[in-house]
Chains A and B, each alone.
Chain A
Amino acid sequence: MPWPAFFLANEGYALAPKVDEYQMPTVWAVVSADDLTQRKPTKWAVRTGWTSSQPNHPFRGYVVRTLGYKKVVTIAMDYAFGWEQVGGFQRTFEEAGGQVVQKLWPPLGTTDFGPYLAQIKRDADAVFAVMVAASSLRFPSNIRMRG
């Protein structure tokens, strides 16, 4: 599957220093990499989209209080976006009394999750998944086949 330019978080991190070097005004509609507006803000970028970790901060309250999950296994694409999404969830989930008991990191573009699903700790309350693109299409049926 071809990736549109300016799409993935790691592409954003790669391009950001050049945008500043060339002082080129840019609009970032999709790239959600946290640090582009946080720890390493890019002067010449305006972000109209979102931040990777952002939706997962309020989600912790729902997971702990409404769903009642205390122990969660994460499985996420092994790149900036996956790390930031899991980071945002883990930080706030554990502040709320939950615990991430295992973290699995399949590479970007994985479509066969068998080796990863076999490792999941079965005494967890739930699986927290971060998939993108082709992996979003394959992961749900992969995990449901394995239970």
Chain B
Amino acid sequence: MKARLPLIGGGTTFDEFVFPSLGDEAIGAITPLIYSAAIDTPVNKRFVKEFRTK
């Protein structure tokens, strides 16, 4: 029996829009989703910047 079960799940469970309202309890959770604004590629960085300035 583990003291703490690892947390995985659906992408909406730890949605990027939810992060600002969460604290350390989100650290370590792993979830998949169709897109993340944090994708570290030149194309995505440009897209995020242009989307946010619109």
Contact = CB atoms under 8 A, between A and B. Distances in A.
A116 B15 CA distance: 22
A54 B34 CA distance: 8
B7 A127 contact: yes
B12 A130 contact: yes
A126 B7 contact: yes
Interface stretch (B17-25, B37-45, B46-54): B17-25
Secondary structure at the A interface, as helix, strand, loop or mixed, is: mixed
A131 B9 contact: yes
Interface in A50-71: 50, 54-56, 58-59, 62-63, 67, 69
B25 A141 contact: yes
Contact of A69 (B6, B13, B22, B32): B6
Contacts, number: 87
Contact of A127 (B6, B11, B14, B34): B6
A55 B33 CA distance: 5
Q: Which range contains the number of A residues in contact with the other chain?
A: 35 or more
The interface centre, meaning the residue of B2, B3, B9, B26 with most chain A CB atoms within 10 A of its CB, is B9
Contact of A58 (B5, B8, B32): B32
B14 A136 contact: yes
A129 interface: yes
A123 B9 CA distance: 18
A72 B7 CA distance: 10
B13 A120 contact: no
Given A50-B34, A59-B32, A136 B8 contact: no
A105 interface: no
Given A67-B8, A129-B7, A56 B13 contact: no
Given A55-B11, A56-B10, A136-B18, 6 more contacts: A55-B34, A62-B32, A127-B5, A127-B9, A128-B10, A144-B4
Interface of B: 1-15, 18, 21-23, 25-26, 29-30, 32-34
